Amino acid sequence: MRLDGKVALITGGASGIGLATSRKFVREGAKVVIADINLDQAEAAAAAIAAEGFEGSVAAVRVNVSVFAEVEAAVARAVEVFGKLDVIFNNAGIAGGKPLLEHDPVADYEPIIRVDQDGVYYGILAAGRQFRAQGTGGVIISTSSIYGEQAAELSFTYSAAKAAVISFTRSAAYELAEYGVRAVAITPGRVGTPIINQFSEELKAVFASEQLRNKLTEPEEIANVVAFLASDEANVINGTVVSVDDGYSVFKQRLDLPVF
């Protein structure tokens, strides 16, 4: 088991990519704290994973990642329950979109920046301090997006926040290397999470067509990559953006080519 003996804190861990990663980490031998703004959902997820034969390997904590004190408390809780912290997966995020000139900054800018951008900064800071205090190194993995590297429809604020995650990752890798800390960002494409699954079948088919397999990525497929990145097998992956987009970023649209 590639994560045997490691302790991980996963934000947004009660659903979607976070839940799939929580389950994957535990199966790979890690102890996991599921951190989510919905405590009931986090506790239910932890109970379900424990019931799969992993009693004592998973705990839950409520966290609003837009509040630094709560992120610090979640890190402290992981250390309290499992004795240390080896990995943080800054995965909690929200989405939303509206044409720029129709923005209400209070509704369409501030919440996304506070969760998707500030929440990652707070996770990097709180975990980085814990890793330094332990003197044992650690791994910081943060969820960016394909939108963090390109412009897209209705995503002015979301793209900015996800681009910041990439910049944070590079700077964290540079600054924290002396403490044995690695930092990596992932850029998922179209993943079958609750955010996307709420849409119509027609729209989901369009999303699927933007990827090379012509299907939505499963959260478990992202979790597999995150587990590898958290493991010692990935020790040379540092300060890097790892694309997990099934080719979304390599083409714009499929064409019916003429006969030459």
Kindly list the catalytic residues. Answer: 158
Q: Are 243 and 187 in contact (CB under 8 A)?
A: yes
- Cα angle at 102 between 98 and 104, to 5 degrees? 90
CA distances from 17 to 2, 90, 109, 143 (A): 19, 11, 24, 10
Q: Treating both helix axes as pointing N-terminal to C-terminal, what angle do 119-134 and 68-82 enclose, rounded to 10 degrees?
A: 40
* 185 beta partners: 142, 241
Contact 188, 244 (CB under 8 A): yes
Angle of the 39-49 helix axis to the 16-27 helix axis, nearest 10: 30
Separation in Å, CA 18 to CA 137, 187, 205: 23, 14, 23
Query: Exposed, middle or buried: residue 84 (CB in 10 Å: 0-12, 13-18, 19+)?
Result: middle
DSSP of 112-153, one letter per residue?
A: HIIIIIIHHHHHHHHHHHHHHHHTS-EEEEEE--GGGSS--T
Query: Cβ distance 216 to 196 under 8 Å?
Result: yes
**Under 8 Å between Cβ of 167 and 188:** no
